[in-house]
Amino acid sequence: MLLDFDDDGPGPVVILLHGFPLNRSMWKAQMAKIGSLYRVIAPDLRGHGHTAAPDGVYSIDAMADDVLDLLNALQLKEPVVIGGLSMGGYIALSLVARHPERVRALILMDTRAGADSTEAALGREEMAKQVETTRSTASVVQAMLPKLFSETTRNFHSDRIVPVRHMMEKTPARAVAGALRGMAARPDRTGDLARIQVPTLVLVGADDTITPPAEARAMAQAIPGAQFEIIPNAGHLAPLENPAASNAAILRFLSSLP
């Protein structure tokens, strides 16, 4: 399906895939800083931002295929850097597992390779049903928002929280339900990690409680040669909560690529 996207900057291509249920505007600080040196392309994934919201389950592989369609539409046949945060990271892992020839390097941010536990998947189904019944995403916003941010962000950067709330509130109920069901059904990609052959950066907020640093470190250790960075004063949305440290880590990694 056709994705809406931002596309700005010179140089090698870096694709940034946002988290759930956000949109490409979460990459504002990266578009500004990384986009001064690289061509940053940030799509709105299906159902999010300005991209249409079809009915049904948004499987992670289908969302990855949307990204592939975008690369093809932009005539980007050479491998590109793929970065993804949380759900965007699940999509990045799907891309590198199924289409390794399209990936030059990976940036996995606040994400995990494992599948949902049965309990987590059931919780997502319950949430999807609630969103559909009430035709409102208020319950998801209420459940997720307090868990996303570090104490530093909550105490000193509420200006960074407000746009996230708006992004979440703007995502249609249909899309929230579709993505919840897609994430619940995603495969365990832990076994794929040892087969990743591209340079990889794993980045995680020091205070991320959704995909905690210990899990991110284990993921980095399972990927041959992967670099690992902990971003201080950041929770689950590290690039948005601490853009200076996140951008510095990402630029260090990008400039190290062959």
Query: Can you give the binding site for ligand MLT, defined by CB under 6 A?
Result: 19-20, 86-87, 183, 210, 236
Minimum separation from the CB atom of position 20 to ligand MLT (A): 4
Which of 3, 12, 1 has the alpha carbon at shortest distance from 79? 12
Which of 56, 68, 54, 53 has the alpha carbon at shortest distance from 23? 53
User: Is the Cβ of residue 9 or residue 202 nearer to ligand MLT in the bound state?
Assistant: 202
Alpha-carbon span 29 to 236, nearest angstrom: 16
Minimum separation from the CB atom of position 87 to ligand MLT (A): 3
Angle formed at CA 216 by CA 51 and CA 96, multiple of 5 degrees: 50
Q: Which residues pair with 123 in a beta bridge?
A: none
User: Is the Cβ of residue 39 or residue 174 nearer to ligand MLT in the bound state?
Assistant: 174
13 — phi, psi (to 5°)?
-85, 135
Alpha-carbon span 240 to 180, nearest angstrom: 22
Q: How is 126-173 classified by DSSP, letter by letter? A: HHHHHHHHHT--HHHHHHHHHHHS-HHHHHH-HHHHHHHHHHHHHS-H
Minimum separation from the CB atom of position 184 to ligand MLT (A): 9
User: Is the Cβ of residue 79 or residue 123 nearer to ligand MLT in the bound state?
Assistant: 123
In angstroms, the Cα distances linking 70 to 41, 98, 121, 166 are 10, 16, 29, 26
User: Is the Cβ of residue 35 or residue 88 nearer to ligand MLT in the bound state?
Assistant: 88
113 — phi, psi (to 5°)?
-95, -25
User: Is the Cβ of residue 9 or residue 235 nearer to ligand MLT in the bound state?
Assistant: 235
Which of 9, 28, 14 has the alpha carbon at shortest distance from 237? 28
Q: Residue holding tokens 């076994």? A: 191
User: Is the Cβ of residue 76 or residue 210 nearer to ligand MLT in the bound state?
Assistant: 210
User: Is the Cβ of residue 87 or residue 96 nearer to ligand MLT in the bound state?
Assistant: 87
